[in-house]
A = this chain, B = another copy of it.
Amino acid sequence: MIGYPNKKKIQPPVSDPAISKARRGMSLEDDLNKTNSYYLDVDRAVIFKKPTPIQVVEVSYPARNKAKITEAYYRQASTTDYNGVYRGLPIDFEAKETVNKTSFSLAKLHKHQLVHLVNVYRHGAIAFLLIRFSSLDETYLIMVESLIRFLKNHDRQSIPYDWIKNEGIFIPYSLTPPVDYLTALDKILTEGVKRNEEKK
């Protein structure tokens, strides 16, 4: 992602300048790729980003066993970007970044992504949204249950930062892994497992 020309000016001071410098320019997606690959390495969870859906129109074969795609288009995904398995439970989430400091615009969350999150939640998945306020360098996890409650009670085009700060779970930055969302999730998951047992 290309930074805004005034990005450095709006970058807030953070406690550790070394970490701040190292992180500059790292997108949430980069951080999540590292995090998921760390979880896989230490055998904590199996969570992957889905490939971007692409509609292939034309393929040429410059060599016998080599296919070169010469015309293709990005398609809109029908699901969220991330899913997998953790502690026997299905995990499903979408990750979004915003440079806005006071709210998260709901236009960034596509309708089919919200529908998918609600669907997997109803079927028993741990479904959530990761929102990074990149100007503030803060990342929050918002369970789909909270999100549904917000949407029911507010007729707004955006979620205020203060609501996210109160309702979401703050994910502190660490080096390995950069976005340790599973640790943030552990308390909720333990409750979720109990809830599932009661349902049965």
Contact = CB atoms under 8 A, between A and B. Distances in A.
Interface string A111-128: 000001001101111000
A119 B46 contact: yes
Contact of A72 (B40, B54, B119, B120): B54
B74 A69 contact: yes
A71 B54 CA distance: 12
Interface in A53-87: 53-54, 56, 67-74, 77-79, 83-87
How many copies, total? Answer: 2
Please classify how large the interface on chain A is, using the bins under 10, 10 to 19, 20 to 34, 35 or more: 35 or more
Given A50-B51, A54-B54, A69-B54, A124 B88 contact: yes
Closest 10 CB pairs of A and B: A88-B124, A51-B53, A90-B90, A69-B72, A85-B123, A85-B90, A51-B51, A85-B125, A54-B54, A46-B119
